[in-house]
Structure 1
Amino acid sequence: MAFGIKRADLLEWKRKVAAGQIAFITHYWLDDRFPNSKTVTKVGCRNLDRLIQWGNQYGLKPEWIDNRNKLYPHFDLIGEVQIEILKKEGLDQYIW
């Protein structure tokens, strides 16, 4: 279950993804499969080649891309991987 996200932030993320930019958005998230994680960061880009290339630098596999909604393909980052990537990207403001 996702919560704690502003509509304007979500719309901006969708706009960037649709424009072929690498876009980040973090929101609170509860999932029994990941009891130690309270947030998820979605890293999206409609240009799949660009998203795959971005993910490769962090060891993310193309098959991990959530592409159920073809308009907003994205990686879901959680836990230590989430924190590590956000720090490397200089996006400490997304670490809650």
Structure 2
Amino acid sequence: MAFGIHRSELQDWKRSVSNGDIAFLTHYWLDERFPGCKTVTKVGCSDLKKLIAWGKQYGLKAEWIDMKKDYPHFDLFGQRERDILINEGLTDQLERFR
């Protein structure tokens, strides 16, 4: 279940992903498979080569890309999510979702 974002934020993310940009979307998320994680950051891009290359710099494997929807993306959570957001200069997301 995703919550804590506005519809316009989701639409902006989808538009950026469709345009071939590396796009980030952080939101609250509860999934009993991942206890202790309360947020997820989706990092998407419709250009799979670009998304794979981006993920590789962080040790993310191409097979981890969620391809179920029209918006290919990595799901980041936990310490990896925190480290990547800091490295990408997106600390506002950390502050917003604590």
Q: TM-score, normalised by structure 1?
A: 0.97
The residue that corresponds to 2:4 in the other structure is: 4
- Cα offset for 1:35? 1.2
TM-aligned CA deviation for residue 4 of structure 1: 1.1
For 1:17 and 1:78, locate their aligned partners in 2 and report how far apart those are by CA, in whole Å: 19
By how many angstroms is 1:94 displaced? 1.2
Alignment coverage as a number of residue pairs: 95
Alignment of 1:13-92 (within 5 A): 13-69=13-69, 71-92=70-91
| Residues 57-83 of structure 1: CA deviation (Å, up to 9, x unaligned) | 0000000000011x2000000000000
Structure 1 residue 43 displacement after superposition: 0.1
Report the Cα distance in structure 1 between the residues aligned to 2:5 and 2:33, rounded to whole angstroms. 21
CA distance in 1, matches of 2:14, 2:23: 8
Aligned counterpart, 2:92? 93
Write the distance in 1 (CA, Å) between the matches of 2:17 and 2:32: 28
Separation in 1, partners of 2:17, 2:46: 5
Query: Match of 1:32, SS?
Result: coil
CA distance in 2, matches of 1:10, 1:68: 17
Query: What value does the CA root-mean-square deviation take over the aligned residues?
Result: 0.6
Once the two structures are superposed, residues 6-64 of structure 1 have per-residue CA deviations (whole angstroms, 9 ceiling, x without a partner) of: 00000000000000000000000001111110000000000000000000000000000
